[in-house]
Amino acid sequence: MTAVLEVADYTLDYATRQGPVRALEDVSLSIARGEVVGLVGESGSGKTSLAWAIMRYLAPNAIERGGTLRLSGTDLRALKPAGLTAIRGKRLGMVFQDPSTSLNPTLTLGRQITEVLEFHRGLSPADAVREAEAMFARVGLRDPAAMMRRYPHEASGGEKQRVVIATAFACRPECILFDEPTTALDVVTARQILDLFRELQAETGVASLYISHDLAVVSGLAQRVAVIHQGRIVEQGATRAVFGAPQAEYTRALLAAVPRPDVRLTETVPQPGPPLVAVQDMTVRYGRPSLFRRRARGVIGASAVTLDVRAGEILGIVGESGSGKSTLARALTGLAAFEGGLAFEGRPIGGVRAMDRAYRRQVQIVFQHPDSSLNPRQRIREILARPSRLYGGEGDVGALLQSVSLPADFADRFPHQLSGGQKQRVAIARAFAPRPKLVICDEVTSSLDVSVQASVIRLLVELQRSSGAAYLFITHDINLVRQIAHRIAVMQRGQLVETITAEDLATRGPQHAYTAQLLAAVPRLDIGETPDDA
């Protein structure tokens, strides 16, 4: 088949103070009309650098050493700015990982698509509005006319990603690059976005490069796959052949890191006796009465939740975005006021003000994004020493770094000098510094690629075994939590709908329809057949 997108022997460096750093080396791949090619690899492998190179959005310090980039015969590297403007959006589109950063916060959602239609398709403002509303309806947005008037902050993550996809397909481009388009979404929303992608791709026949670290997603979408490692493609071919019988050691390592719910990673057994934490009818409300609305009751983030965590237990909390998982974590750590009962080791905690120094030392949290939770102005040494100054506990920074498998000399680095996985290990070390009895892990692996995620999970399991701490492990990845949790609590729209042991879930299956929906939405690594064979 004739290639729509063709990359041949492409090499890219980045200039740094320490000299040039090789990002891509002799990369070659092609995509035909109607074909989906997956590009997989861990963070830093060069996936996004290749996408930026194709889109001609290279950083100022990028140095192209050689190779060709062609779109239906057009030499992309030879295009001047005016030529690139004419191609981007019309012939070549891109859907980014985080829709919040790819949408202009000062423009309505409708204006962001109509300006594309007016510029690239030459539609009149009235025709552009009609076409935009039709595209919004096509991508499954409810009440397209109302959505046109909203700003990005007034839409959910899934709605914003649908707007981005509608905009990418609006001009019927020849090729679209998808850079981790579902990573920032919960499992149910991600499944809906993937189903939408399949439909639009089949309708339009667009050539698609689907970039992801999620091998299960790629196995269900792509006819062919390329595996990239340290800037080089180490293996490529039919998805079934590559994933079913990988030839490269790196590919085998990626496949081995994919969570398998039938493989248990936890050997510890919860301690008998009364619960460590007991939550009774806990309700959390967001918002408060204002000067003009004194009777306002706010939005309920969690409603009458009752659960307990035993010493040494890993309790998984699963559910889609907005289900109340993180709200529960905020309440338990004093970041959100709550109504209802909370007891720790049998001692009643009447509210946020009753969470004294002893409670805060015993209950620690690791957040989803270490970039937001680590102070960028402090060295790692200062970050890890702070819990000791506040609560006592482990004061040896070198020992803390060693406990999370990081070199002692990392103590003198700043967070920006570490990778995502390394920063999360620092955040974990900080949480364990005061020797807590309960550690809340709030989506701690959702922003990590599959191999780094596997190493962080192994670390958490080892720390739990050695410390005896209990975990409240919050995630939307039900396959992952089935590997490590003793029990799984399922939340939907602020309510706890089911609590089930991991063993019962495996043998008897879910007892609530929503739990079954979550399980059905989880992508599974399919190496039995490729989409072409289905």
**How far is 240 from 55, CA to CA, in rounded Å?**
29
Q: Where are the alpha helices (DSSP H) in 122-248?
A: 125-138, 144-148, 157-170, 187-204, 215-221, 239-244
pLDDT at 291: 54
Exposure of 228 in the CB half-sphere (CA atoms within 13 A): 29
Q: Where along the chain do its domains lie? A: 3-257, 313-333+359-521
Which has the closest alpha carbon to 34: 162, 190, 151, 207?
Answer: 207
Query: How far is residue 90 CA from its own chain's centroid?
Result: 29
Strands, sheet with 62-71, edge to edge from the N-terminal-most edge strand: 19-32, 3-16, 62-71, 74-75
Phi, psi of 28 (to 5 degrees): -135, 130
**How far is 442 from 476, CA to CA, in rounded Å?**
10
Q: What is the CATH number of domain 313-333+359-521?
A: 3.40.50.300
Average pLDDT over residues 6-22: 94
How does residue 480 score in pLDDT terms, banded at 50, 70 and 90?
Answer: confident
pLDDT at 288: 62
**How far is 134 from 230, CA to CA, in rounded Å?**
42
3-state helix, strand, coil in the chain (%, to 5): 40, 25, 35
pLDDT at 300: 87
**Greater pLDDT, 287 or 317:** 317
Span 399-436, pLDDT tens digits: 999 999 999 999 999 999 988 889 999 999 999 999 99
pLDDT at 187: 83
> Rounded to two decimals, what is the model's pTM?
0.83
How does residue 299 score in pLDDT terms, banded at 50, 70 and 90?
Answer: confident
- Distances, alpha carbon 421 to alpha carbons 186, 252, 287, in Å: 20, 20, 34
- What average pLDDT does the chain have? 90
How does residue 97 score in pLDDT terms, banded at 50, 70 and 90?
Answer: confident
Q: Who's near 158: CB < 8 A, 6+ residues apart?
A: 185, 189, 192, 193, 321
Q: What is the CATH number of domain 3-257?
A: 3.40.50.300
Other beta carbons within 10 Å of 353: 9
Residue 125's identity, in one-letter code, is: P
Average pLDDT over residues 211-221: 91
What CA dihedral angle connects 262, 267, 273 and 279, to 10 degrees?
A: -50
**How far is 322 from 254, CA to CA, in rounded Å?**
31
Retrieve residue 30's tokens: 């092609």
* pLDDT above 90 coverage of the chain, percent: 71
**DSSP state letter for 278:** E
3-state secondary structure of 521: helix
**How far is 384 from 345, CA to CA, in rounded Å?**
27
**How far is 387 from 362, CA to CA, in rounded Å?**
11
- The answer, yes or no, to whether residue 148 has pLDDT greater than 90, is yes
**Greater pLDDT, 57 or 526:** 57
pLDDT at 375: 94
Strand partners, 279: 307, 342
Q: Who's near 510: CB < 8 A, 6+ residues apart?
A: 490, 498, 500, 516, 518, 519
- For CA atoms 12, 13, 14, 15, give the dihedral sign: negative
* pLDDT above 70 coverage of the chain, percent: 96
Q: Quote the Cα angle for 434-436-437, to 5°.
A: 165
**How far is 64 from 202, CA to CA, in rounded Å?**
34
pLDDT at 232: 97
Q: Where are the beta strands (DSSP E) in 411-484?
A: 438-442, 470-475
pLDDT at 66: 95
**How far is 328 from 280, CA to CA, in rounded Å?**
12
pLDDT at 307: 96
- Note whether 280 and 339 are within 8 A (CB): no
- The answer, yes or no, to whether residue 476 has pLDDT greater than 90, is no
pLDDT at 266: 83
Span 243-271, pLDDT tens digits: 999 999 999 999 988 888 878 888 788 88
Region of residue 39 (left: phi > 0; alpha: psi -120 to 50; beta: else): beta
**How far is 416 from 254, CA to CA, in rounded Å?**
26
Whether 3-257 and 313-333+359-521 share one fold: the answer is yes
For the chain, what's the residue count?
534
**How far is 298 from 250, CA to CA, in rounded Å?**
50
Residue 121's identity, in one-letter code, is: R
Span 343-396, pLDDT tens digits: 999 999 999 999 999 999 999 999 988 888 899 999 999 999 998 888 876 668
Q: Who's near 508: CB < 8 A, 6+ residues apart?
A: none
Retrieve residue 463's tokens: 């720390």
- The answer, yes or no, to whether residue 284 has pLDDT greater than 70, is yes
- For CA atoms 429, 430, 434, 437, give the dihedral sign: negative
pLDDT at 385: 92
**How far is 208 from 130, CA to CA, in rounded Å?**
27
**How far is 493 from 470, CA to CA, in rounded Å?**
25
Residue 482's identity, in one-letter code, is: R
* Distance spanning both ends of the chain, measured CA to CA: 20
pLDDT at 487: 95
pLDDT at 265: 86
Query: How far is residue 310 CA from its own chain's centroid?
Result: 29
**What string of DSSP letters covers 17-74?**
TTEEEEEEEEEEEEEETT-EEEEE--TTSSHHHHHHHHHT---TTEEEEEEEEEETTE
Retrieve residue 187's tokens: 């499992």
Span 98-136, pLDDT tens digits: 788 889 999 999 999 999 999 999 999 999 999 999 999
Other beta carbons within 10 Å of 77: 12
**How far is 211 from 242, CA to CA, in rounded Å?**
16
